[in-house]
Amino acid sequence: MHLQNKKGFTLIEIIVSLAIFSIVMLLVAGTYISLISASADVRTETSAMNNVAAVLSAMSNDIRNGKCKLGQCVSGNSFTFTNSSRNAVMYGATSTVCPSGITNQICKSISGGTAYVLTHTPVKIAKLNFTARTYSSSGTPTAQQTFITITIDGSYTLPHQTQSLHFHFETVVTPRSIYIQ
């Protein structure tokens, strides 16, 4: 009697192992694609929030280092003050501040010149509001200090989603100058 040495795999074993390998690879590929999509969404969200926070910080620093002449700092959806270079600066998200055709963005204009956009495209500003309050001392001479509350409400849309995510930023800024009468 002659014995045969069996070496290798049968055709059925190879087909079964390829089927199991294909299923595992499909699951891994699906997970990988989902992670890439989620990573892009997180990058967009981080970029949008960093952009709005940087704009709010820049506005706060400008106002803090500038001056609000008496009667100049008034509440509303745009805000005008004198910066440290003695130029009139206006911030806003309205057609009176932003260039023609630009909507839902925060814009800045210096000395009535051409305004430029500060926020980037995925960010849509729904409301930009400045609330100025001036407090006076009771002594003589009278000193006045202005507090400006900046409120930003808006949204941004992630690349792979249809719904918008909303945000709300708020800060209070006090110009360093105090008016003494």
DSSP character string of 11-55: HHHHHHHHHHHHHHHHHHHHHHHHHHHHHHHHHHHHHHHHHHHHH
In a domain, 134, yes or no: yes
133, 145, 140: which is closest to 67 by C-alpha? 145
In a domain, 158, yes or no: yes
The answer to whether 104 and 154 have CB atoms below 8 angstroms apart is yes
What's the pTM value of the predicted model, to 2 decimals? 0.76
In a domain, 63, yes or no: yes
How many domains does the chain divide into? 1
Which residues form the domain of 130?
11-180
In a domain, 75, yes or no: yes
Say if residue 97 is exposed, middle or buried (CB neighbours under 10 Å; 0-12, 13-18, 19+).
buried
In a domain, 67, yes or no: yes
In a domain, 155, yes or no: yes
Which amino acid makes up residue 136? S
pLDDT band at 70 (very low <50, low <70, confident <90, very high): low
* CA pair distance 86, 79, nearest whole angstrom: 15
Over range 150-168, report the average pLDDT. 84
The answer to whether 179 and 71 have CB atoms below 8 angstroms apart is no
The answer to whether 169 and 151 have CB atoms below 8 angstroms apart is yes
In a domain, 6, yes or no: no
Alpha-carbon Rg for the chain in angstroms: 30
Over range 98-123, report the average pLDDT. 88
In a domain, 89, yes or no: yes
pLDDT above 90 as % of the chain: 40
